[in-house]
Amino acid sequence: MLYLASQSPRRRELLARLGLDFGVLDLDIPEHRQPGEPAEEYVRRVAREKAGAGLLKVVANPSAVVLGADTEVVLDDEVFGKPKDAADATAMLRKLAGRTHLVISAVSAVSAAREMQVVSLSEVTFTPLDEPRIAAYIASGEWQGKAGAYGIQGAAEIFVERLSGSFSGVMGLPLHETSQVLAGFGYGPFPVARAPLHQAGVAS
């Protein structure tokens, strides 16, 4: 049995695109970067901790495979997590405007017998954003619960001048890498997606 250890509706929607049946485990894992911890190692660690905590919840099922993921926005070695409020979100967007940032998305899968992990690295270049444009996006509420205060699958897609990497990885679950990990646990082959991700109507 496959489980997704995530409260994110975007990750649930993305994983469903692989055509798999899976359960969802709602976990509350602290996400705090340790002093001196490299950004990529931090994202890897949180993904592992989510998967490991999920496995503990279903330990009675010896065939369980638990998938955990974490996605963070990084600029100048600063990790932009989920904003605390509108003011925090505004500050994040001001910093990202007109710059190229890195999106790190780590996926971990664990079972009673093994563990695998992959990482997707994507570069996203934002157009310059003036204050009215930032304010309009903040007023939309789309920034809530999203690393870096934006969702590429929504209105913020028009901010993106260039994307080098994985669209689904920036959303929160890189499907190419996720399918590779799951294949290592015997899942697949996977169906061809029926529609482009940006047309999938992913709920925020």
Q: Which residues are catalytic?
A: 70
Q: Residue by residue, what is the 3-state secondary structure of 39-67?
A: HHHHHHHHHHHHHHHHHHHCCCCCCCEEE
* CA dist 96 → 111, 126, 160, 163 (Å): 38, 7, 11, 14
What does the alpha-carbon distance between residue 166 and residue 164 come to, in Å, rounded to a whole number? Answer: 7
What does the alpha-carbon distance between residue 135 and residue 152 come to, in Å, rounded to a whole number? Answer: 17
> Rounded to 10 degrees, what is the CA torsion of 47, 52, 57, 60?
140
What does the alpha-carbon distance between residue 71 and residue 145 come to, in Å, rounded to a whole number? Answer: 12
